[in-house]
Structure 1
Amino acid sequence: MRIGLLGTGPWAQLAHAPALSGHEDLEFAGVWGRRPEAAAELAGQHGTRAYDDVEDLFADVDAVAVALPPAVQAELAVRAARAGCHLLLDKPLAPTVAQGRAVVEAAAEAQVASVVFFTTRFQPGPQAWITEQAAAGGWFTGRAQWLGAVFTDDGSPFAASPWRREKGALWDVGPHALSVLLPVLGDARRVTAAAYGPGDTVHLVLDHASGASSSLTLSLTAPRAAAGAEVELRGEAGVTVLPEATDGAVPALTRALDALLTAACTGTPHPCDAAFALRVTEILATAETALHGATR
């Protein structure tokens, strides 16, 4: 499979380009970016071609991996799908439900595969734990804390990201927490949210289809010493905690690429496809509406 990369920012440099260039079953066919000089530099580092016209890249590849802000990703994903390209996308799928739905519909109409890179779902230990807890059932409640130090760590390459500044932790780390809780506790029937605490810190409470409830604390403004992710479940089986991820972004992204290859070859949707990411987007949008109502 020939695959192209859309994006040249820190995430593309740190994760996508190394994973694409190192994958044994993919041909890293080219890079397109909104800054042509950055695309040329990144392509040169990995021995591939820089494209000035994104449509030319779509025409030359079988799939694209996207490392761009959510609004840009959503627009280009629709165009790529219509050009017949399979999609490796990042979270969040889109900044609005309408944009996310457009991606899902374009992928369905073109019959292309999609995988959305919810990082935790492509870590072996955490994914095995999620599968085990989903099978066990009988959960009473869940608690997730997903705390980043993006806005408090002077060295973070993501601190200046305009979309993170606008959308905050709800849309940046919220998808990670939901990607763990939803497959275990079921879809969210009701969502409430409140913005208490420093910076972009928000708190969500979810009523799940299984009858369980969950609470989420999300922030990108945590002190460095307090940053980290934790998920705890309590129920008939007792108490269990999500195991810590042991692999970095590149091995996890490599597994996401494997998943895209499998979905493209078999036609069987992956659990973390664009449709699942759309449901996550719908929940985030509901929480965002609740937050805006609470601040009026």
Structure 2
Amino acid sequence: MAHHSLPDRPRIGLLGTGPWAARTHAPALAAHEGVEFAGVWGRRPEAAAELAAASGTRAYDDLDALLDACDAVAVALPPDVQAPIAARAARAGRHLLLDKPLATTAGAAREVVDAAEEAGVASVVFCTLRFARQTADWIEEQRATGGWYLGEARWLGSLYGPGSRSAYAASPWRREKGGLWDVGPHVLSVLVPVLGDVTWLRAARGPDDTHHLVLGHASGASSTATVTLSAPPEAAGASITLHGAAGRVDLPPWDGAADAYGRAVDALLAAARTGTPHPCDARFGLRLTELLLQAEHDAKTT
């Protein structure tokens, strides 16, 4: 990756206006002292105007005009809208703070990777657990410890569970792709750096959108993961446990996403300034997409 000189306070534009953009991205960008929140663009101009007003920045009706006005973009769009727009932003020389999953096809994800690498721009995919202070430190610690034998992960969301009132339940891509694609990236973003890349994978369907995964890793360890968005609210929760020579360790609780998002902004700026790719970059995002596609395919044929 080329070393890019960035201004002292780089300008970041936000692409997207949904609940995730309004609750996490916009407040984190507005509060971040190291960047200037340059503006908001969305597919619904009235939503962009409202979010920009609430965040003390300006709305853009034209995507290219916003790209011209910033050094980097933060993307809060559905994966299959995100990927081509991210590639376009990269080709315009803008650094990329992306959402997970990067895309739901390998081709679209690869287009982002290629565009970023050709333009020499930095990229970070916001997998919350890799940036929330408590979990990021824990992942690093377990990676350094090594000697793991088994991993067990469960991420039971209740977005579509009985009585759910979540603002995210209206999201069409989540409804279509389910927990495998929405929370699967979180689980894999922890298991892969600690246990090594996935060398083989099996998947089976459970109730509703539930998927059970069995993974083999490059370290020789294996892991299991269960993901869903349809659990009863009483059963919701996330846990990741590792078993190995060091004993048994559990992923610690973590703070809200806004603090983690601020740290993802820091990570993007560091990657842009040093030219050293972040481990959770677009290339890692592509790998997650490949694994999720494999799991989806395997579950359909089991």
209, 220, 234: which is aligned to 1:225? 234
Asked if 1:169 corresponds to 2:179, the answer is yes
- The aligned amino acid for 2:150 is T
Give the equivalent residue in structure 2 for 1:50.
59
Opposite residue 167 of structure 1, the aligned amino acid is K
Alignment partner of 1:291 is 2:299: yes
Q: Matches of residues 1-296 of structure 1 in structure 2 within 5 Å?
A: 1-152=10-161, 153-196=163-206, 198-245=207-254, 247-294=255-302
For 2:273, the aligned partner's letter is C
**Which whole-Å deviations, capped at 9, do the CAs of 1:85-104 have from their partners, x for residues lacking one?**
00000100101111111100
* Corresponding letter in the other structure for 2:92: A
Moved over 4 A (4+): none
Paired AA for residue 279 in structure 2: P
Q: What is the CA deviation profile of residues 194-245 of structure 1, one whole-angstrom value per residue up to 9, with x for unaligned ones?
A: 002x211110000111111000000101111211110111111111111111
- Please report how far the alpha carbon of residue 134 of structure 1 lies from its aligned counterpart in structure 2 after TM superposition: 1.0
Separation of aligned partners in 2, 1:208 and 1:271: 17
Shift of 1:8: 0.4
Whole-angstrom distance in 2 between the partners of 1:203 and 1:185: 18
CA distance in 2, matches of 1:83, 1:182: 31
2-structure distance, mates of 1:135, 1:164? 34
Cα deviation for residue 284 of structure 1 reads 0.5
SS, match of residue 159 in structure 1: helix
Root-mean-square deviation (CA, aligned residues, Å) is 0.8
- Between the aligned partners of 2:221 and 2:55, the Cα distance in structure 1 is 47
Q: Provide the C-alpha distance between the structure 1 equivalents of 2:134 and 2:21, rounded to a whole number of angstroms.
A: 25
CA deviations on 1:68-95 (whole Å, 9 max, x unpaired) are 0000000100000000100000100101
Query: Shift in Å at residue 154 of structure 1?
Result: 2.8
Structure 1 residue runs without a partner (length 5+): none
Local SS of the residue matching 1:189: strand
SS in 2 for 1:158: helix
| Distance of 1:178 and 1:85 partners within structure 2 | 27
Unaligned stretches of 5+ in structure 2?
1-9
How many aligned positions are there?
292
Q: Secondary structure at the match of 2:168?
A: coil
Task: Work out the CA distance in 1 between the residues paired with 2:113 and 2:147.
Answer: 32
- Aligned equivalents of 1:72 and 1:27: distance in 2? 25
Aligned residue identity for 2:30: S
